[in-house]
Structure 1
């Protein structure tokens, strides 16, 4: 096994939820890149199979995929990587072209996230590949249709009623509807879309082509439109318009309404485009965004307490420390440790220990200000940093935490033993002008925590 594959496997083994998530949602390959030795990159076999290669033919070196990516896209990927490594809020997400073994172009969406060390430096990249060649084909097809529609619309205004050939040549379904909602003309595409013959369509109303649950509302909308007819685009990404076929299948559609005057009175031309595939694609992309959000949250969150984990807390605290130094703002840090936690685990089991950790984590989160940040940084150890806070403000918050915990203890039916709320000790320190690093500030807070433990526990020392 390649060492990068082994390292990733060990990382996933730490968090079972992460493994389950990746196992359920990976698409066409996962990759793991050593940014400290950029020639080393592990790619899962699915990526090479997507490109028509036997994975056994390929070594785990970044040069292999760089040899089959389009040169222009390689430059884009390199630029995005540099920006993502420099600014963690810049996404590493691009659509690139690879050359299949048979010479075809394969479109792939490549996404990834940097894994950073305690200094915030990107040392690894973890990402996934998703083949979207089919989606690109659909996109190209819709661009061609829209281009055709634009050309047709210009001619439609000239003489739609007298131009049967133009009416039939429309690439989308077209209905001509009178003031009462009756269909008086339908093209072949409308027949194909809805499953009725054109003869059947001209004996129907437009409400007959709407799902039954929406027909009353559609009647009201149509009546209101006819009082003030105008060219109107309906549907789009933000609105779901639905039509129903003869078989009962419900379609998502976009509709363009254009009023026309005929010798029979005011009519409306409705151009109806089936966008069901596009809607499904949008829903899939939205689901992917939600999946990525969940993956990110899992990577920064302690799974037991729901608080930030040590890595992400330290990353945020480092930013706050640098910002406090840059703008000469205050910064207060407190280290918090559950008293006698080993006794709880030894006497009542780890399940009770987990319950105590969860309870304290919840009490800490409910006690802090909106601008404060709390994280679980060790077994029974928590930390909080208070941006733009003085020592006095830190003491006030620490006293509030102790009060809330004591209040929970006194109001609990269980005062001692399993189920009881444990007490905590708190060490508090404030940033000094001569502090060169966050570690110095955390060290002082840790020393105060030791004093709190030594002086009887369940107290704050600063």
Structure 2
């Protein structure tokens, strides 16, 4: 990678020789060293830029590792909260999701089957949401989705389809997995921490009602 810049610097240095040496003119002493300076500075500059670009790539990889859930490739809890806070001034709807009977599924079918379910559900969430929506894994079998600019009707439609879950093919057979959903309206003024509390409260109520349930937290209260 360094050979080409080195050659270019060498040729650039040679290009000044006719003017400063073959013409017989007297020049400032520093000009006599210009070819050498170019030969040295050119490759060093390229090497420095190459090193800096490498550091930038490594930093980008590090950020990806710290912000992406390795199993589902969704933003992790930290990344979800950071991104949602940035766009929270936009009104929307916050959904908190929990995979129904996930602990029992892990015990009965094994962790590998559980992981397959989480990956399949993550893909399902991507399919059901817009590119402007934020989907994140909050930990374990818990997920969250923020729908900026969504109306109550739009959020209900998305949440209803999420509740249906997904059919997951595993080595031991086909699993039907459902989701419980708690939802709360965000008006652009309510802090995210408060919205999370309300959405989780709605989620708890949905889980008490059985599998695949949707509870919409008191919209007036949340507003």
Instruction: Give the TM-score normalised by structure 1.
Output: 0.38
Show the counterpart of 2:209: 455
Distance in 2 (alpha carbons) for counterparts of 1:275 and 1:388? 52
SS for the counterpart of 1:365 is: helix
Q: How many residues align?
A: 200
Query: 1:358/1:278 Cα in 2 relative to 1: closer, same or farther (>3 Å)?
Result: same
Candidates 287, 305, 328, aligned match of 2:72: 305
Candidates 34, 53, 61, aligned match of 1:171: 34
Query: 1:420/1:163 Cα in 2 relative to 1: closer, same or farther (>3 Å)?
Result: farther
The structure number with the bigger radius of gyration is: 1
SS for the counterpart of 2:180 is: strand
Distance in 2 (alpha carbons) for counterparts of 1:314 and 1:274? 46
2:163 matched to 1:396?
no
Show the counterpart of 1:296: 63
After superposition, what is the alpha-carbon deviation per residue over 1:78-116, rounded to whole angstroms, capped at 9, x for unaligned? xxxxxxxxxxxxxxxxxxxxxxxxxxxxxxxxxxxxxxx
User: Does 1 or 2 have the higher relative contact order (CA < 8 Å, sep 6+)?
Assistant: 2
Candidates 344, 364, 370, aligned match of 2:131: 370
SS for the counterpart of 1:377 is: strand
The answer as to whether partners of 2:162 and 2:179 remain within 8 angstroms in 1 is: no
Show the counterpart of 1:344: 105
SS for the counterpart of 1:337 is: strand
Give the CA deviation at 1:401: 3.5
Candidates 183, 187, 203, aligned match of 1:428: 183
Show the counterpart of 1:162: 23
Distance in 1 (alpha carbons) for counterparts of 2:212 and 2:172? 17
- Unaligned runs of 5+ residues in structure 2 are 1-12, 217-223
Distance in 2 (alpha carbons) for counterparts of 1:360 and 1:308? 14
Give the CA deviation at 1:339: 1.4
SS for the counterpart of 1:172 is: helix
The answer as to whether partners of 1:427 and 1:445 remain within 8 angstroms in 2 is: yes
Q: Which has the higher helix share?
A: 2
Query: 1:359/1:160 Cα in 2 relative to 1: closer, same or farther (>3 Å)?
Result: same
Give the CA deviation at 1:299: 1.7
Give the CA deviation at 1:381: 0.5
SS for the counterpart of 1:420 is: strand
Instruction: Give the TM-score normalised by structure 2.
Output: 0.72
Structure 1 segment 132-171 matched on structure 2, within 5 A: 156=19, 161-163=22-24, 169=32, 171=34
2:92 matched to 1:331?
yes
Distance in 2 (alpha carbons) for counterparts of 1:284 and 1:367? 42
Give the CA deviation at 1:448: 2.7
SS for the counterpart of 1:376 is: strand
Structure 1 segment 24-43 matched on structure 2, within 5 A: none
Give the CA deviation at 1:402: 4.6
2:118 matched to 1:357?
yes
Distance in 2 (alpha carbons) for counterparts of 1:304 and 1:374? 14
2:148 matched to 1:381?
no
Give the CA deviation at 1:396: 2.5
The answer as to whether partners of 1:348 and 1:418 remain within 8 angstroms in 2 is: no
The answer as to whether partners of 2:179 and 2:212 remain within 8 angstroms in 1 is: yes
Structure 1 segment 210-225 matched on structure 2, within 5 A: none
Structure 1 segment 111-122 matched on structure 2, within 5 A: none
The answer as to whether partners of 1:352 and 1:418 remain within 8 angstroms in 2 is: no
SS for the counterpart of 1:430 is: strand
What is the aligned-residue RMSD (CA, Å)? 3.5
The answer as to whether partners of 1:300 and 1:309 remain within 8 angstroms in 2 is: yes
Show the counterpart of 2:5: none
Give the CA deviation at 1:338: 0.8
